[in-house]
Amino acid sequence: MTSTLGPHTDISAQKIAQDRGAGFIASGASQTRAKRIGDRDKTAARLLRSAVERSYDGEVDIDWDEPWLDEKLFYPPHRLTLYGTRIWDKLSPEQRVELGKHEMVRVFSFGILVEGVLSVMLYRNIADGTLVDDSTRYMLTEIGDETRHSIMFSRAVNKIGVEPTLFPRFVTKAVMGVISLLPLGAWSFGWTLLFEEVLDRLQREAVPDEEIQPHLRQVFKIHVLEEARHITFAREELVRSYQAAGRIRQGLDRVLIALATSLVAPLTFWPGLYRRAIGMSAFRGFLAVQLGRNYSENVQFMCEPMVRYFHEAGLIRGWLTTRIWRVARALPDDIYEEVVGRPRKERTPSLAGRAVRWLVGA
Ligand SMILES: [Fe+2]
Ligand SMILES: [Fe+2]
């Protein structure tokens, strides 16, 4: 296994994932294809049976009284936002562990907010329906899953012992208010997939990683097992909703999904945590991450299954949509080439660009 805690490393995140056997990443993940969408209630009935067989509760399935293990990590180092930068090279092993704790807490606390948003959207879908069918019962079950996940994440944060770096309260309130008022549609299932698949991808990779704290691997395992059915339901609902919409509405859905994707990575890597974790300014942290060599690679890794599904469902097309996707840096090379019409160019940074990178330590 490749150690990533040495004083200097320039091994790419992709290489590390391959060394650890990238095959496990796909195992157990949702296999739903955009071209084979089944009947809504039949899918819901199947997922309800899965929920009976495969449901977990972090309150009983994790021994929270067991202490952390000294030599284990809190986040896969090659997925840390500063990995591969000159700042990373200069961090001590202790600082890297501390940064890992803060980034893990950031992901969990963002997860709690997002699961609340998803539950609100599910309740709105329930209110729109007949209230007594399998789809309703499935959505209620999913809300129950998300509630248990959020409780599990909050326990993990308390156990790590780091204060979450939250968004300013007015931002959270404004975003929640807007999301509660927007008319539901394909965009809402696209956003659901964005939150669920990105988290799923990160956690699925870390489940078999023996360098990570066993408590956290158990949290990830419980989460990805239950999220697989959520992703299946949202993938099917996305296609049904999109196909039922008119052309203008479809264009709006495509833009809203692309916009959310371009925002989610910077939001997940909220830069305020760098000051608390390693005493570095938020602005410098933000620039170093954005200009770092691994940023695009990590965003593409996190988004890949979701982007391939969006592409298959016809959601990555149109002048404005494709431009936003390019800014998001989330398209894998083959989809980029298909959508843009030419291969992605490896750009040599300008002298000014290289100077900024050097100044911020990217
Ligand atoms: Fe969840
Ligand atoms: Fe979920």
What is the pLDDT at residue 3? 38
Cα(77) to ligand 2 centroid in Å equals: 25
Cα(133) to ligand 2 centroid in Å equals: 20
The residue ranges of every structural domain in the chain are 40-360
| pLDDT of 95 above 70 | yes
Closest ligand to C-alpha of residue 108 is: 1
Q: What is d(CA 352, CA 349) in angstroms, rounded to the nearest whole number?
A: 8
Closest ligand to C-alpha of residue 230 is: 2
Sequence-ordered list of residues with C-beta below 8 angstroms from that of 21, at least 6 positions apart, any chain: 208
What is the pLDDT at residue 216? 97
Q: CA dihedral defined by 168, 170, 172, 173, rounded to 10 degrees?
A: 160
Closest ligand to C-alpha of residue 30 is: 2
What value does the mean pLDDT take over residues 42-51? Answer: 96
Whether the CB-CB separation of 99 and 83 falls below 8 Å is answered with no
What value does the mean pLDDT take over residues 157-175? Answer: 91
What is the pLDDT at residue 28? 64
Q: What is d(CA 51, CA 142) in angstroms, rounded to the nearest whole number?
A: 9
| pLDDT of 43 above 50 | yes
Q: What is d(CA 180, CA 168) in angstroms, rounded to the nearest whole number?
A: 19
Band (75; pLDDT cuts 50, 70, 90): very high
Q: What is d(CA 166, CA 164) in angstroms, rounded to the nearest whole number?
A: 6
Closest ligand to C-alpha of residue 223 is: 1
Cα(10) to ligand 2 centroid in Å equals: 34
Please say whether the dihedral angle defined by the alpha carbons of residues 185, 190, 192 and 193, taken in this order, is positive or negative. positive
What value does the mean pLDDT take over residues 106-121? Answer: 93
Cα(58) to ligand 2 centroid in Å equals: 15
121: left (phi over 0), alpha (psi -120 to 50) or beta: alpha
In single-letter form, the type of residue at position 338 comes to E
What value does the mean pLDDT take over residues 210-216? Answer: 96
Cα(279) to ligand 1 centroid in Å equals: 31
* 212 strand-pairing partners: 73
Closest ligand to C-alpha of residue 231 is: 2
Closest ligand to C-alpha of residue 111 is: 1
User: Which of the given ranges, 161-170, 258-267, 281-290, 300-309, has the highest pLDDT on average?
Assistant: 300-309
Architecture of the domain delimited by 40-360 = Orthogonal Bundle (1.10)
Q: What is d(CA 164, CA 162) in angstroms, rounded to the nearest whole number?
A: 6
Of the ranges 120-134, 205-219, 261-275, which one carries the lowest mean pLDDT score? Answer: 261-275
For 9-38, the pLDDT digits (tens) are: 445 555 555 555 454 455 567 778 877 888
What value does the mean pLDDT take over residues 291-315? Answer: 92
Cα(340) to ligand 2 centroid in Å equals: 32
Cα(92) to ligand 2 centroid in Å equals: 36
Closest ligand to C-alpha of residue 194 is: 2
Extract the tokens encoding 101.
């704790």
For 253-267, the pLDDT digits (tens) are: 999 999 999 987 776
Whether the CB-CB separation of 223 and 199 falls below 8 Å is answered with yes
Helices (H), 161-294: 169-181, 186-206, 214-244, 247-268, 273-278, 282-291
Cα(107) to ligand 2 centroid in Å equals: 14
Cα(283) to ligand 1 centroid in Å equals: 30
> In this predicted model, which residue has the larger pLDDT, 13 or 52?
52
| pLDDT of 361 above 50 | yes
Q: Which phi and psi angles does 73 have, rounded to 5°?
A: -105, 170
pTM of the model: 0.88
What value does the mean pLDDT take over residues 121-140? Answer: 96
* 73 strand-pairing partners: 212
As a whole number, the mean pLDDT across the chain is: 89
What is the pLDDT at residue 1? 35
Cα(87) to ligand 1 centroid in Å equals: 33
How many C-beta atoms surround the C-beta of residue 287 within 10 A? 18
| pLDDT of 244 above 70 | yes
Cα(293) to ligand 2 centroid in Å equals: 31
> Environment class of residue 103 by beta-carbon count within 10 Å: exposed (0-12), middle (13-18) or buried (19+)?
buried
Cα(196) to ligand 2 centroid in Å equals: 6
Q: Which phi and psi angles does 212 have, rounded to 5°?
A: -95, 150
